[in-house]
A = this chain, B = another copy of it.
Amino acid sequence: MRAIEWSNGRLKLLDQTLLPNKVEYIEATDHSIIMDSIKRLAVRGAPAIGIAAAFALAFAARKIRTDDPNIYANEIRQYADEIGSVRPTAVNLRWALDRLLRKAFAFTWSVGQIPDLLLSEAEAILAEDIEMCKGIGRNGASLLPDICTVLTHCNTGALATGDYGTAQSVIVTAAENGKKIRVYVDETRPLFQGARLTMTELLARGIDATLITDSTAAFVMQKGFVDAVITGADRIAANGDTANKVGTYGLAVHASYHRIPFYIAAPTSTIDPDCPDGKHIPIEERDPKEVTEPFGLRIAPVDTPVYSPAFDITPAHLITAIITERGISYPPFIKSLRIFGTEEGRGRSDDN
């Protein structure tokens, strides 16, 4: 089961809102279909959003009807802004768009060639993602003891990326290396990505996984059941402050209180060196209906006031280490992340 499939010039996106009950793909022929899919979380997970956004911009580029490079540049920037605004927190989205824009603005080719160039850049991002997942898994697995119970939040598996995932890649790689891994999975309200997606993926891989409600996490830590907490990230500021699915901050506080290591696993494309700290990360708010009417089930009175941030910010001092495909970053992150924040390190270079 793959979140994003690209073959024979056709992009298919798995509609993850229907899992685990239905496996249905969205035929993405247009950038607006991709944008809508990202918005309603049919495709989700920071790396997967980046990949989908790259294809969206490549598709949009086909629509621009001009030979004038300046007009072209203007129009493609507008498309990128439009796509980039769909989910403001995840930096991979902006990262992928910027990477394609740099390609478009290189101007070593004629305007007419740009759509094809962008498409191959989108393909490259998808392909690189597979290596990224492997690297995160390899680096992170080294941190886990041979017998270990991990707690995780949301979905960071194949459905969130092009391949094994981020935090989940650490779990799966450790298990493949022969370690005895048990997992507690937070169901992850409001959209139940832990219950719907992570449980589906872990059970399919034969990993010993147990579903809990989000507010059971502290209790299993109190009982001494948890050796490590690992989550993904949607944006990591230069100082290590990390935006991730709401609930992550609470887990980090609980992990600290119970003296359990708390790891973030994310590709270097999630690091935003231009963002000094968590205060500068915009927090997307979701539709109240996701809380009051999950998947059509009404659980609150009509017109209930709701506060539903999609993400929260975990301050760097609560994070034990940040696992990337290029290595493990330890505090002080302001220094250790800078290594990955360079052009070369971040894979942000324009080299082919």
Contact = CB atoms under 8 A, between A and B. Distances in A.
Given A301-B200, A312-B222, A215 B246 contact: yes
A101 B213 CA distance: 38
A253 B21 CA distance: 36
Nearest to A204: B301
Interface string A209-229: 111111111111010000000
A203 B247 contact: no
Contact of A222 (B199, B209, B249): B249
Contacts of A247: 213-216, 218
A303 B20 CA distance: 12
Given A187-B291, A291-B187, A301 B203 contact: yes
A105 interface: no
A295 B297 contact: yes
B195 A213 contact: no
A298 B21 CA distance: 8
A195 B307 contact: no
A275 to B, nearest CB: 18
Residue among A190, A220, A247, A301 with max Cβ neighbours from chain B (10 Å): A301
A246 B216 contact: yes
A91 to B, nearest CB: 19
A115 interface: no
Interface string A288-326: 000110111111110111111100110000000000000
B307 A250 contact: no
Interface in A243-257: 246-247, 249-250, 253-254, 257
Interface of A: 20-21, 184, 186-190, 192, 195-196, 199-200, 203, 209-220, 222, 246-247, 249-250, 253-254, 257, 291-292, 294-301, 303-309, 312-313
Given A190-B213, A213-B214, A250-B254, 20 more contacts: A186-B215, A187-B189, A187-B291, A195-B291, A195-B304, A196-B300, A200-B300, A203-B304, A211-B291, A211-B304, A211-B306, A215-B247, A216-B247, A216-B312, A219-B249, A219-B309, A250-B250, A253-B254, A294-B299, A297-B297
